[in-house]
Amino acid sequence: MENNKKTHFGYEEISSADKGARVRGVFDSVADNYDLMNDLMSLGLHRLWKKALLELAELPPNPMILDIASGTCDIPKMIIQSHNSARVQVTDINSSMLELGRNRAIDENFISNCFFLTASGEELPYQDETFDLVTIGFGLRNFTDKNKGLNEMHRCLKPNGHLLVLEFSKPNNSLFEKVYDWYSFNILPKMGKFFAHDEQSYQYLAESIRMHPDQENLKHMILNEGFKKCNFYNFQNGIVSIHKAIK
Ligand SMILES: C[S@@+](CC[C@H](N)C(=O)[O-])C[C@H]1O[C@@H](n2cnc3c(N)ncnc32)[C@H](O)[C@@H]1O
């Protein structure tokens, strides 16, 4: 069945069965330059977006947190630095990215609060109702089946637990959108080529952002998976949004 299902890898239509490997290939390729490229491409703004996510997190004492698509651990690090009793399950489908995150947690001394696991956000290896908070930063648009992933996040949250999804979204100003499109398709791939010797992965980045559901559609998808409430917050004219949902 899986072999007949179709999905998108950027603008390309591919078999769902192939998407995980294609996405893993992108992040294997970008892993070594990931943090540098994040700072260059967003002019450092990704740090502010992640800080905003932290500000939206409402945590009980000794919180149990799941961070999906953790990459180099920016979100786990910020959470642990502000809540030193937090225990964070750090997960990613890509072991090269997770290894960078783990090395960073050792070097920057927050590893004692972290538990690392290579896992897909679409098949979470955790029991029902385990976490107070599930976070995912710039990961959801890479999923093969986003509904399945959101359903898994809902399953693993405790009742009244919170989900925070930080992701690229749709600009709400048409002039701004034109400039942003020009930057995404003309500058980003060239920056990828120059700094990371990898143009294609950054072309995928630009395309995957356009294929991702806009703010309202993502809100409906989240509510359809059983969350009782969902609000979103836009940043930089909607280039990025944070959806906050309650189970
Ligand atoms: C753009 S990076 C984001 C990393 C980090 N959260 C951040 O905000 O800097 C996207 C990450 O999503 C991971 N990823 C892609 N598909 C995934 C999936 N189905 N399940 C879990 N992680 C996934 C990639 O391996 C990559 O590390």
Cα distances (Å, whole numbers) of residue 19 to 22, 46, 188, 206: 5, 26, 22, 17
Distance 70 CA to ligand 1 centre (A): 6
Terminal Cα distance for the chain, rounded:
31
Q: Is the pLDDT of residue 1 over 60?
A: no
Distance 105 CA to ligand 1 centre (A): 17
Q: Is the pLDDT of residue 2 over 80?
A: no
**Residue 105 counted as domain residue:** yes
Cα distances (Å, whole numbers) of residue 73 to 34, 66, 80, 110, 208: 11, 12, 11, 10, 22
Determine the Cα–Cα distance for residues 6 and 22; give it in Å rounded to an integer.
14
Please give the number of the atom of ligand 1 that sits closest to the Cα of 98. 27
Q: Is the pLDDT of residue 185 over 90?
A: yes
- Can you give the residue range of the structural domain that contains 91? 43-170+214-246
Distance 178 CA to ligand 1 centre (A): 27
Distance 139 CA to ligand 1 centre (A): 4
Sign for the pseudo-dihedral over CA of 171, 177, 179, 185? positive
Distance 222 CA to ligand 1 centre (A): 19
Structural domains counted in the chain = 1
Q: Which residues line ligand 1 (CB under 6 A)?
A: 23, 27, 68-71, 74-75, 92-94, 97, 120-122, 137-139, 142-143
**Residue 147 counted as domain residue:** yes
**Average of pLDDT values for 117-146?**
97
Q: In testing the pocket of ligand 1, which one of 88, 138, 144, 207 has its CB within 8 Å of the most ligand atoms? A: 138
**Residue 82 counted as domain residue:** yes
**Residue 48 counted as domain residue:** yes
- Provide the pLDDT for residue 24: 87
Q: In testing the pocket of ligand 1, which one of 51, 79, 88, 92 has its CB within 8 Å of the most ligand atoms? A: 92
pLDDT in tens, 82-131: 999 999 999 999 999 999 999 999 999 999 999 999 999 999 999 999 99
* Nearest-CA residue for atom 25 of ligand 1: 94
Contact 207, 10 (CB under 8 A): yes
**Residue 30 counted as domain residue:** no
Q: Between 198 and 235, name the one with better pLDDT.
A: 235
Q: What is residue 158's three-state secondary structure?
A: strand
**Residue 228 counted as domain residue:** yes
Sign for the pseudo-dihedral over CA of 237, 171, 32, 116? positive
**Residue 112 counted as domain residue:** yes
Q: Report the DSSP pairing between strands 157-168 and 240-246.
A: antiparallel
Determine the Cα–Cα distance for residues 48 and 2; give it in Å rounded to an integer.
39
Angle in degrees, CA 178, 182, 186, rounded to 5 = 175
Q: Which residue has the tokens 């930057």?
A: 183
* Nearest-CA residue for atom 27 of ligand 1: 71
CATH number of 150's domain: 3.40.50.150
**Residue 199 counted as domain residue:** no
